[in-house]
Amino acid sequence: MKRISVIGTGYVGLVTGAGLSDFGNNVICTDIDEDKINQLLASDIPIYEPGLKELVDRNVSAGRLSFSTDISASVKNSEVVIIAVWTPMGDNGEADLTAVKSVAKMIGENLNGYKVICTKSTVPIGTGKKIKQIIEKTSGGSNEFDVVSNPEFLREGSAVKDFLLPNRIVIGSESEKAQKVMKQVYRPLFINETPIVSTNVVTAETIKYASNAFLAVKISYINELANLCDTTGADVHIVARGMGLDGRISPKFLHPGPGFGGSCFPKDTHALVQMAAEKEVEMQVVSAAISSNSIQWQKITKKLDILFADSLEGRTVAVLGLTFKANTDDVRQSPATPIINHILENNGHVKAYDPEGIDNMKMLFPDIDYCDTHEEAVNGADGVIVMTEWHEFRGMDLKKVAELMNGNIIVDARNILDPKELKRNGFIFDNVGRPNVK
Ligand code: UGA
């Protein structure tokens, strides 16, 4: 088992550190953010991620996982250094590598013997090479290290499960020694016969963007099909099932909705297009998915406008779900944001509820009316819009919702409510691509 330091305790870094310690490695998770490290030392997890607290607590108790702000010392003590700092979207759609570069510099300055330097952050294709150059320079020409690209494929909301039971592990490195070290890091998975793709750095970096962009394309495709179904009378869910049963297509990521959000797909699709453009390659398919996604929320507001006969003025709309997907507290690039803006711009009143995302949404919309329960949000509302597929909303008592509301309009932007139930309870409603069930 290996001595590992993970730099960056965002959701990728923290899940990676906790997961690798669960595999038996000795892991120090580090960050420059003292508050975050103090929180973690106090056994308080800064993000909402199901199962993460249990995973962290278990491994801290076993003495395999610790936290520190002393990044230099932990680098010196480690055989493997994992870079998991953030790479936000820059002004032109490219990934901003400032944090990655400064970490690489610091690793070079603390190199004291052979180490594997592994990137988990989603970095532009070619970054591994740059990291290598920076470390060579700042370490005074040392070649006592190898650079590895080991992209992460975990999803917020199911990150722990995705980490412990991955579909595949991608290890990109030209060095056989580094490939061997990484296989030891993932030993339990290796023994379990999890497929391992061993390749070079640039191919591994490409696999990460290729995977995220492919899934984004798939979502935009089903969203456009749903928009078509809205006009033809076909049911998009049965279309998706009929397509997905073909093993070449697969039913996954064929759920239509208000458009993809979060910290990954919007950023990574833009970065891929930007990177390709720099090499004079056009990524027309990915560009189309971005453009389609940028207007998908408008299909939802159009439905709301139609049901409100084009006048939201003075109307109260309960927005159920603020996060970009269920089981997270993350509201970055959440489709709920343009929806709320639309209601406010049309002089409507918003009552917002989310099981986990309210604190984060308050930073974007400090002045809307936040509620503690979905019942409180729908109470007195003229309409309801379901923006996130939380189980709580799937299981809502629609009879009670109807009694509490002032009006009877519902837009289900995630297709999680039963249209027959909605009809039975007297709602006037719309969803995404299921016109034949109204
Ligand atoms: C995504 C990828 O799925 C992960 O494999 C990857 O590791 C991660 O990005 C990353 O690069 O870090 P994540 O953004 O957490 O994970 O969430 P997803 O479950 O992929 O959902 C992304 C967006 O697509 C959400 O807004 C979701 O609501 C939407 N979506 C997803 C749909 O609209 N329909 C679907 O069928 C699936």
For the stretch 114-170, pLDDT in tens is: 999 999 988 999 999 999 999 999 999 888 999 999 999 999 999 999 999 999 999
Mean pLDDT of all residues belonging to the chain? 96
Phi/psi at 430 (5° precision): -145, 155
C-alpha distances out from residue 156 to 48, 287, 290, 357, Å:
9, 24, 21, 13
Condensed to tens digits (0 to 9), the pLDDT of residues 193-245 reads: 899 999 999 999 999 999 999 999 999 999 999 999 999 999 999 999 999 99
Q: Is 416 in the pocket of ligand 1 (CB under 6 A)?
A: no
Q: Which helix (H) or strand (E) holds 27?
A: strand 26-30
Q: How far is the CA of 122 from the centre of ligand 1 (A)?
A: 14
Residues 6+ positions from 184 with CB-CB distance below 8 Å: 1, 2
Helix (H, G, I), strand (E, B) or coil at 379: coil
Mean pLDDT of 253-258: 98
**Best of 153, 236, 260 for a ligand 1 pocket test (most atoms within 8 Å of beta carbon):** 260
| Same CATH fold assignment for domains 209-290 and 295-430 | no
pLDDT of residue 143: 84
Provide the pLDDT for residue 190: 83
Which fold does the domain 3-199 belong to in CATH? Rossmann fold (3.40.50)
Using DSSP's 3-state secondary structure scheme, residue 152 falls into coil
Q: Is 215 in the pocket of ligand 1 (CB under 6 A)?
A: yes
* 267 close to 290: Cβ distance less than 8 angstroms: no
Would you identify the CATH topology of the domain 209-290?
Answer: N-(1-d-carboxylethyl)-l-norvaline Dehydrogenase; domain 2 (1.10.1040)
Q: How far is the CA of 1 from the centre of ligand 1 (A)?
A: 32
Query: What distance in Å separates the CA atoms of residue 143 and residue 146, rounded to the nearest whole number?
Result: 8
Closest atom, ligand 1, to C-alpha of 156: 15
Phi/psi of residue 27, each to 5°? -120, 135
Q: Residue 343: how many CB atoms within 10 A of its CB?
A: 24
Residue 308 near residue 342, CB atoms below 8 Å: no
> CB count, 10 Å around CB of 399?
12
In the residue annotation, 229 being an active-site residue is answered as no
- Quick one: what percent of the chain has pLDDT higher than 90? 94
The candidate with the shortest Cα–Cα distance to 171, out of 192, 201, 193, is 201
pLDDT of 438 over the 80 cut: no
- Going by pLDDT thresholds of 50, 70 and 90, the confidence category of residue 90 is confident
Give the residue, by CA position, lying nearest to ligand 1 atom 16. 155
Q: Is the CB of 18 under 6 A from ligand 1?
A: no
pTM over the 0.85 mark: yes
Tell the residue number behind the tokens 């953010």, with chain if given.
33
Any atom of ligand 1 within 6 Å of the Cβ of 383: no
**Ligand 1 center to 29 CA (angstroms):** 25
Is residue 92 predicted with pLDDT exceeding 90? Answer: no
Give, for ligand 1, the residue of 123, 219, 297, 412 to mutate: max count of ligand atoms closer than 8 Å to Cβ: 219
CA-closest residue to ligand 1 atom 18: 155
Q: Which atom of ligand 1 is nearest to the CA of 152?
A: 7
For the beta carbon of residue 381, count every other beta carbon within 10 angstroms: 25
**389 Cα nearest atom in ligand 1:** 28
* Domains in the chain: boundaries: 3-199, 209-290, 295-430
State whether the beta carbon of 253 lies less than 6 angstroms from ligand 1: yes
Q: Ligand 1 mean position to 209 CA, how many Å?
A: 13
Residue with CA at minimum distance from ligand 1 atom 12: 264
| Residues 405 and 426: beta-carbon distance below 8 Å | no
- Angle (CA) 401-402-405 rounded to 5° is 80
Task: Return d(Cα 433, Cα 140) in angstroms, integer.
Answer: 60
Section 355-375 average pLDDT: 97
Domain 295-430 class, CATH top level: alpha beta
Say which of 29, 118, 229, 264 is annotated catalytic.
Answer: 264
Ligand 1: which residue has its CA nearest to atom 28? 325
pLDDT tens-digit map of 393-406: 999 999 999 999 99
Per-residue pLDDT at 142: 84
What is the Å distance from ligand 1's center to 383 Cα?
28
* pLDDT band with cut points at 50, 70 and 90 for residue 437: low
Ligand 1 and 75: CB distance under 6 A = no
CB 355 within 8 A of CB 372: no
Residues 321, 384 contacting (CB under 8 angstroms): no
Task: Identify whether the C-beta of residue 155 lies closer than 8 Å to the C-beta of residue 264.
Answer: no
Q: Is 16 in the pocket of ligand 1 (CB under 6 A)?
A: no
Which residue's alpha carbon is nearest to atom 1 within ligand 1?
Answer: 155
CA 186 to chain centre: 23
Alpha carbon of 360 to ligand 1 centroid (Å): 19
Q: Does residue 155 have its Cβ closer than 6 Å to ligand 1?
A: yes
Residue-level pLDDT at 435: 80
Q: Quick one: average pLDDT of 7-21?
A: 96
- Do residues 351 and 381 touch, judged by C-beta distance below 8 A? yes
- Cα 402 to Cα 325, 380, 419, 424, 427, distances in angstroms: 25, 10, 14, 10, 7
- The pLDDT value recorded for residue 436 is 61
